[in-house]
A and B are shown apart, each in its own frame.
Chain A
Amino acid sequence: MSVFSQAFLVTWLTAGIRLGGPVLLAALGETFAERSGILNLGIEGILLLGALASYLTSIHTGSLWLPLFAAMLTGFAAALFLAWMYVTVRASQVVVGLVFNVLALGIAATVYRRTLAHASPGPIAMFQAVHIPWVSDLPIVGPTLFSQTLPLYLTLVLVVVAHFALFHTRFGLGLRAAGENPRAADAAGISVPRMRYLGTLISGAAAGLAGGYLVLAQIGLFRDSIVAGQGFIALGIVIFGRWSPWKAALAAMVFGTCDALQLSLQLLGTHLPEELLLSIPYVVTILAISGIFGGRDVRPAALAVPYAKEA
């Protein structure tokens, strides 16, 4: 198999899209939080809790969709707490997010030890690849894009939904206003706290779902190390994707394919250090968000700035 063969290309891109799926889902949710002015660093922890919830539900019910729902619910509940800290308490979003990640790690490790460490459950039911009729027979795009799992298709649909919700609805306008200029939004009768609660809750539900996605469609087991920075990668995707769902999808593709390239090149036995390839997405993100290349600063102007209505 050479680097230029079609088989290599197909394997590589398929893996790339597969690996980019969960982070894209988390990034889509985070886009809503950040557009409303909330930098939710806690999605790393929510991913972990979602993964745990879905795994526990899966081994107890054997169902496929119920665990996904449990993951989303867990993410929602965690985000409710986070939103209260971010919006009502108006604590530093960076600190709350980071500490919450430690809390989530503690909860996941403790619950895992409490329930699973001594019993070793068998394999769980996982989402299998679904070949979409007709289009999955196309060369290259067929196997890469149309022979993936249901959660991936769901994520791609959500890209469209997220774009529509953000840029073509009243709700999206209000949300973005709360993140750009909360004072003006307030004056226009939009409840800034409400928008920010909603943004955080959406990011929590999406991150929880992404955790379930990770377990149910990719890994099939739970360890407290399975998330390992994917939440932070999702944050990078949001910035790299310039707070737009479409571009986030492209950014997730770049991350996924860099990740997959390293796997594929290892299979080929090339001598490029894998760490070099693995670092590409991060370096690209750093450069993309560095401001070196100028470009319009599209960051929500009030990102991570708590808002207090003046009494």
Chain B
Amino acid sequence: MRLLVRRLTPNNSPAAIATTMLAAILAAMAIASLLFLDFGANPLSAYYALFHEPFGTLRGFGYAVVKATPLTLIALGTIVACRSGFTYLGFEGCFTLGAAASAWLALATAPGQWAASLSPLLFFPAAVLISFTVGALWSGLTGILRARFGGNEVLISLMSNYVAILIVKYLVAGPMRAPGSLPETDQLPHATWLAFIIPGTRGHAGVLIALAAAFLVWMLLRKLPLGFELIVSGLNPAAARYAGIDVARRTLLAAALSGGLGALAGLTEILGVQHRLMDGISGGVGFTGVIVALLAEMNPIAVLPTALIYGGMTVGADAMQRRAGIPSSITFILQSLIVLFVLASSMLRYYRFNFAALRSKKEAMQA
């Protein structure tokens, strides 16, 4: 008799899913603990540092919110695209272009420029509109290639990232470059900065954009007929077509929405954090956001806490590096191991403990 018995179908009860996920997270944390030990740190205090800074101090919490804001927007973009059957991975590009578009408008409001008379009250809606549009058009190109010509959106969107990043690299090295040794723009006028809304921290108003977007995406997918059509197009294009849904048009719409959300992430970063445009501004957030969406099980509300925890871990890791000299890159390892182990943990649900075997063994030993 064996202690572990293979099942024919995985156990899909909530308890089984929760148990295996917990086991996966603990396993990932155990492996990261070994790394902490290797760097001469007590794992318990390392984990304490990792979570105390972002969630136990106001300043750190502000930073966590700042980090979570673009992650949330990109994760929301991923959700809209994915649930409509459009695997979009071009968020690095959308983020960069959205950042560039809002920087361009912000710089145009400097004294002497053509938009100098634009009141701050009008500036923010205009910036949101323009960067959303730029992102939507950009991802819409991939959407057209997929919907009209049957191109593979995964690889096209991956490639489009490089083109977008090169476009912005060109802009900061040429037309938008400020005098000086570095390829970057001037600092944006103070009036165009997103207000710091969490007192005593760098937490800026971009988080409101992220919260509003989460609500709107939730509305769209759960409450509106259009969202239902998007989801049906994603689940079964043939059935959707049969029901009279224009699948190509829905795909295009999903692509545009997700790219627009990705561009808004760039807007919050440029108007809330960097305050000037430079090369390499995205730093991989376009991919991390996709992972956040996945961990949140493609649920627009669950994205909020997930992005906060993910962003918080980044903040905690920086603090850990400053104080204990533990490289913050360990957090990359911890985060990605958690995702991989959670994915792999579905395998565990194919097994069950054979308690009967355990009992009979005990009885046999007693006899």
Q: Which of B149, B327, B344 contacts A89 (CB 8 A)?
A: B344
B89 at the interface (CB under 8 A from A): yes
A235 interface residue, CB < 8 Å from B? yes
Determine if B336 and A279 form an interchain contact, defined as CB atoms under 8 angstroms apart: no
The answer to the question of A109 belonging to the interface, with a C-beta cut-off of 8 Å to chain B, is: yes
Contact A106 B336 (CB under 8 A): yes
Find out whether the CB atom of B344 lies under 8 angstroms from the CB atom of A102: no
Bound form: Cα–Cα A235–B158 in Å: 10
Choose one: A84, A279, A291; the contact of B150 (CB below 8 Å). A291
Residues A292 and B333 in contact, CB atoms below 8 Å apart? no
User: CB distance A95 to B327 under 8 Å?
Assistant: no
CA distance A91 to B344 in the complex (A): 7
- Contact indicator B170/A275 (Cβ below 8 Å): yes
> Is there an interface contact between A91 and B154, defined as CB atoms closer than 8 Å?
no
One of A88, A91, A273, A286 near B163 (C-beta < 8 A): A286
Q: How many residues of A contact B (CB 8 A)?
A: 47
B337 on the A face (CB < 8 A): yes
Q: Is the CB of A96 within 8 A of B158?
A: no
In the complex, what distance in Å separates the CA atom of A94 from the CA atom of B90? 13
Interface: A140 (CB within 8 A): no
How many chain-B residues does the 8 Å CB contact rule pick out? 47
Q: Does A157 touch B at the CB level, under 8 Å? A: no
User: Is B22's beta carbon under 8 Å from chain A?
Assistant: no
B159: CB under 8 A from chain A?
yes
Is residue B332 contacting chain A, with contact meaning CB distance below 8 A?
yes
- CA A273 to CA B175, docked complex, whole Å: 11
A291 to B349, CA, bound (A): 41
Q: A89-B343, A96-B340, A114-B39 are in contact. Are A311 and B8 (CB under 8 A)?
A: yes
Cβ-based interface call for A50 (8 A): no
Establish whether residues B155 and A235, one from each chain, have CB atoms under 8 Å apart when the complex forms: yes
Residues facing A in B138-174 (CB within 8 A) are 145, 149-152, 154-156, 158-160, 162-163, 166-167, 169-170, 173-174
Q: Which residue of chain A has its CB nearest to the CB of B162? A: A282
Is A99 in contact with B327, judged by CB distance below 8 angstroms? no
Complex-state Cα separation, A273 to B331, whole angstroms: 38
Instruction: Given contacts A102-B284, A106-B329, list 5 more A-B pairs with CB under 8 A.
Output: A89-B347, A100-B336, A103-B336, A103-B337, A110-B329
Question: A interface vs B, CB < 8 Å?
Answer: 39, 84-85, 88-89, 91-92, 94-96, 98-103, 105-110, 113-114, 224, 229, 232, 235-236, 239, 273, 275-276, 278-279, 282-283, 285-286, 289-292, 297, 299, 304, 311
